[in-house]
Amino acid sequence: MEAEGLDWLLVPLHQLVSWGAAAAMVFGGVVPYVPQYRDIRRTQNADGFSTYVCLVLLVANILRILFWFGRRFESPLLWQSAIMILTMLLMLKLCTEVRVANELNARRRSFAAADSKDEEVKVAPRRSFLDFDPHHFWQWSSFWDYVQCVLAFTGVAGYITYLSIDSTLFVETLGFLAVLTEAMLGVPQLYRNHRHQSTEGMSIKMVLMWTSGDAFKTAYFLLKGAPLQFSVCGLLQVLVDLAILGQAYAFKPALHAVHPAGTKAL
């Protein structure tokens, strides 16, 4: 009788927690990029952020949406993918604008140092997706080139999925590729940090949010009985996040030694 009397409180409370967890899944993935976006806008410098992170997330979430057509999973995960795609496009737009502006300013300064006239200033050669130059892949001069690439990939992947949607092997492989690609999210940043032996320009807040978000996401997968691929790759993603945090700790002394009065807050 006592248990029945508590049902009126526990049932709505459980529903509220469930809604909160779903909202955290949908919007929590984009939160880590807010401090990085603000840092880039404030400093007008995108060198510390690898745009290949955007590439990884765009590919992963497009594949995840296609996987949904073959094997339906929870709606919050589907909405999360759509919102993440929009967020990565915004990050790419900002990074492209900042990089192109900095290249133009650097060229203007070099011409000014050579006592050249303003009308003689030339911009750097335009790098376009339609050039199909592998040396400049994902380093294009216009945001529209990135959009074209994303649309082309979506069209090709969508067509292949349409033709193979009845194959269980294809669908399961597609789901595995989607979450495995997402699990590799931090690898471009990990590699960049290792190559430069520095984490300067990288937002530590972003990586901390990656780690907490990925831990929450993996727990959500396990509790909600999501496909096995999601849980396994979620654990791998947490390990990559921890490795990046380890780099931040390992490279911090060297950073202070080289830049004792550094202006970039990590």
* Candidate CATH numbers 2.40.50, 1.10.3470, 3.40.1580, 1.20.1280; the one for domain 185-252: 1.20.1280
Q: Supply the pLDDT for residue 106.
A: 65
pLDDT of residue 167: 93
- Give me 38's structure tokens: 């603000």
pLDDT of residue 203: 77
Task: Write out the chain's pLDDT in tens, 266 residues.
Answer: 444 555 655 656 666 766 676 677 778 778 888 888 988 999 888 887 888 889 989 999 999 999 999 988 778 888 989 999 999 999 999 999 998 888 777 666 555 555 555 544 455 567 776 666 777 788 888 899 999 999 999 999 999 999 999 999 999 899 888 888 888 878 878 888 888 888 877 778 878 888 888 888 788 778 877 777 778 888 888 888 899 889 888 887 543 443 333 323 32
| Boundaries of every domain in the chain | 1-107+134-167, 185-252
At 182 the pLDDT is: 81
Q: What pLDDT shows up at residue 263?
A: 29
Mean pLDDT of the chain: 79
pLDDT of residue 256: 40
| Structure tokens given for 46 | 């995108």
